[in-house]
Amino acid sequence: MAPSDLASFLAGEPPGPTDATAGETAAAAPAARPVVAGRPAAPVARPAASMAADSGTVVTLLDRYEIFPDQPLPEFSHAGAGAFAARPRDRAAGNVFAYVGRTGLPVRAEILGVMGGAEHAGLMAIVDHGVAEWPADRAERRIFVCEAPAGRLVESLTAAQAPMGEDQVTRTFIRPVVAALHELQGRRVFHGAINPANIFRRDVQGNTPMLGDCTTVPPGFIQPVAFETVERGMTDAAARGEGTPADDLYAFGVSILHLLLGRQPAAETDDRTLLAAKIGKGSYGALIGNTRLSLTTMEPVRGLLVDDPDDRWTLDDLELWLSGRRLSPKQAKPPPRASRSIAFGGTEHWNARLLATALAADPQAANTMIERGDLDVWLRRSLGDEEMADRVVEANKALFGWTGPMEARRVSRVVMALDPRAPIRYAGRSVMPDGFGGALAEVLASGGGAQVLAEMITGQLPMFWISAQQRLRPEFVSLATRLDQLSGFLRRQEPGYGLERCLYELNPSMPCISPILKGVYVVDVAGLLGTLERVAGDADRPGEPIDRHIAAFLLSRKGAVGSRTIEALAVDAPAERRCVAFVESFDELQRKAQAPPLPNLCQWVASMIGPAFERYHSRTLRDRLRDEIGRLVTDGQFGPLRGLVGSATLIQRDAIAFDRARRLHVHAGRVIALRQRELENKAVIAGAVGRQAAAIIACLLAALLLAGIVVMQAI
């Protein structure tokens, strides 16, 4: 498969002309191509080259499903996940197919349970999900087994098709989708991927549409800009954050328009121009162009495409409209127009939102304009918005944050003051404050640099965004707390902190992407230990079993391991303390996760703990510990290992004994020196002492002799 074909495959489009057979097959096959139990009833497409490498391979998921990597289903695929034919081993389980997620991006675990339990006709049911090794790259992927639809609603977003009649749209699309959206709202789920290419037919007749996948990728990741509100459309795809039901309704409105037009609205317009048109004319005006809609269908479309979410139609409005009541949607309010334009980047700008977009695109020139004071003059004199001018002055003065170029931060703040609802725009990135998780996941999973994102967080730009909002929402409080916490993580260099920590904190479902794990999809501590146990058995295992990713992953799993233990793994920490920290970490993990014995991992860690013995002075003790540890690793338990390596009592006793040994050594040295001095001066010493001794001996002898004489005389 050529790269272009791969891109189109990921985008969920049918194979291009180079894949003639597949194209013909797809075109010849009916739009509604049911996947029957077992192999698909008809060939859905020629297998992609990358997938065909393992022709005939079957991937087994959870021992319940068989997935066929050589049978991709491009009509169900999208940019975040490829679709493949699948069948349940229990044939009574119904028709299914599988979504295979792109490695690295987090799934929406928070809605997985809710969506898994949804049995609404308007929602594609997730039958099961799990992790399995994918033969194309031998990496583990998250796989979702979904209820198989009969076909997709439109062939592709870009292909033109016959417009649907108003009555048909109302009857077979709006009414059932409203019911599905009711179900989502009842479950407090934001779909984030409502567009005709992700809406399928439940049956061959096509009377029941069902909303497609929304769990395999971050919200909004696969949504084209045309189907997103102005603010979310401005944002990088992975960084759109959690949306609201109103955003789903907007996408629903664009989808209705798509079906009525028979093509994607404003398909010929590039994203930047489309966003400018949406800002300038409002979404309805920008998307509908010169097309005329009947008054009946115009109402819901106009009502759903209102740019202000507070004025946008709700599901209740749609219900009323469906029941026959005619409502008058609020007219789109264009942004205030200045009496005179301001030139920037070779374009004349008449309103603040478009100017903000232009400023964000060229921060260097924007900074010059801000410093010259042109912006302030234009805001006060031409736009006449003193309040906004004051906000810009405030933004210009604010000195939040401590990293990144000050000019870039200043421009970002000024842009936020000009267009508070827009995402945070900084150094070419556009991120919603709650979209940092997705943005980080995308960047780190692809191995790209995340420095810009780090600068945004540490530069306190999200906090400024919150303070710039004119309508404060309750969720901003928790968001501000979270962002402040992230800023703290980024300031710290120890293992378990930094960007990696932010990644796993913001994405609880993110698999650990440490290279140590060799592509294994690990989302919990038990899985991590199991994977490390397998890696430990490999001949080419890395030097250490914990890197920055694993450390951050562990600390983000609350209670898995103490932060001090992980912090002690810092590269610049004393070697003996580090290796003890490894043992302590795995002991805590094994204990808390109630993991089975890990002999390979124990052996791996034991091979690293040589420096830990340096803490003991006694060579005999060291040898005995080595022998003991060699015996313990076979049990695969870290507890006894920790007891030996980190025993404070043993260390204390060793220290006391060592101190005594040092004193003995010093004493021996002194004795040796003394005796050597005596040897050197033996003649003098022997002479002095010897003569004295001779005198004493002589006195004693004389005394004895005299006593003897006296006794003899007396006798």
Partner 1 sequence: MWVIICAVAAGFVAPPTTVLVLAGLVPTLVALIVDRTAERHAVIAVGTLNFAGVAPSVIALWRDGHTMDAALRLLIDPLSMLVMLGAAAIGWVLYLGVPSVLAVFLTHRNEAEIRRMVARREDLVAEWGPEVAAKD
**What residue ranges bind partner 1 (CB under 8 A)?**
617-620, 658, 661-662, 664-665, 668-669, 671-672, 675-676, 678-679, 682-683, 685-687, 689-695, 697-699, 701-703, 705-706, 709, 713
Q: How far is the CB of 680 from partner 1 (least distance, A)?
A: 10
Q: How far is the CB of 674 from partner 1 (least distance, A)?
A: 9
Q: How far is the CB of 573 from partner 1 (least distance, A)?
A: 21
- Cα-to-chain-centroid distance, residue 383: 41
Q: How far is the CB of 690 from partner 1 (least distance, A)?
A: 3
CB 417 within 8 A of CB 392: yes
Q: Which residue has the tokens 């400018």?
A: 276
Q: What b/e readout covers 338-369, taking b as 16+ CB neighbours within 10 angstroms?
A: beeebebeeeebbbbbbbbbbbbeebeebbeb
Measured on CA atoms in the order 241, 244, 248, 253, is the torsion positive or negative? negative
Q: How many CB atoms lie within 10 A of CB 121?
A: 14
Which one, 406 or 699, has the nearer CB to partner 1?
699
Instruction: Please tell me the distance from the alpha carbon of residue 215 to that of residue 194, in angstroms, as a whole number.
Output: 12
Q: How far is the CB of 646 from partner 1 (least distance, A)?
A: 21
Which one, 64 or 622, has the nearer CB to partner 1?
622
Which one, 27 or 698, has the nearer CB to partner 1?
698
Q: How far is the CB of 612 from partner 1 (least distance, A)?
A: 16
Which one, 323 or 713, has the nearer CB to partner 1?
713
CB 512 within 8 A of CB 553: yes
Q: How far is the CB of 632 from partner 1 (least distance, A)?
A: 24
Which one, 477 or 698, has the nearer CB to partner 1?
698
Instruction: Please tell me the distance from the alpha carbon of residue 327 to that of residue 591, in angstroms, as a whole number.
Output: 62
Which one, 575 or 709, has the nearer CB to partner 1?
709
Instruction: Please tell me the distance from the alpha carbon of residue 448 to that of residue 508, in angstroms, as a whole number.
Output: 21
Q: Which residue has the tokens 């996947």?
A: 35
Which one, 631 or 665, has the nearer CB to partner 1?
665
Q: How many CB atoms lie within 10 A of CB 520?
A: 20
Which one, 27 or 694, has the nearer CB to partner 1?
694
Which one, 475 or 678, has the nearer CB to partner 1?
678
Q: How far is the CB of 611 from partner 1 (least distance, A)?
A: 14
Largest CA distance in the chain: 164
Instruction: Please tell me the distance from the alpha carbon of residue 351 to that of residue 336, in angstroms, as a whole number.
Output: 6
Q: How far is the CB of 651 from partner 1 (least distance, A)?
A: 14
Measured on CA atoms in the order 431, 433, 434, 440, is the torsion positive or negative? positive
Q: How far is the CB of 673 from partner 1 (least distance, A)?
A: 9
Instruction: Please tell me the distance from the alpha carbon of residue 326 to that of residue 320, in angstroms, as a whole number.
Output: 8
Instruction: Please tell me the distance from the alpha carbon of residue 382 to that of residue 47, in angstroms, as a whole number.
Output: 60
Which one, 39 or 670, has the nearer CB to partner 1?
670
Q: What b/e readout covers 99-108, taking b as 16+ CB neighbours within 10 angstroms?
A: bbbbbbbbbb
Instruction: Please tell me the distance from the alpha carbon of residue 353 to that of residue 358, in angstroms, as a whole number.
Output: 9
Instruction: Please tell me the distance from the alpha carbon of residue 608 to that of residue 129, in angstroms, as a whole number.
Output: 38
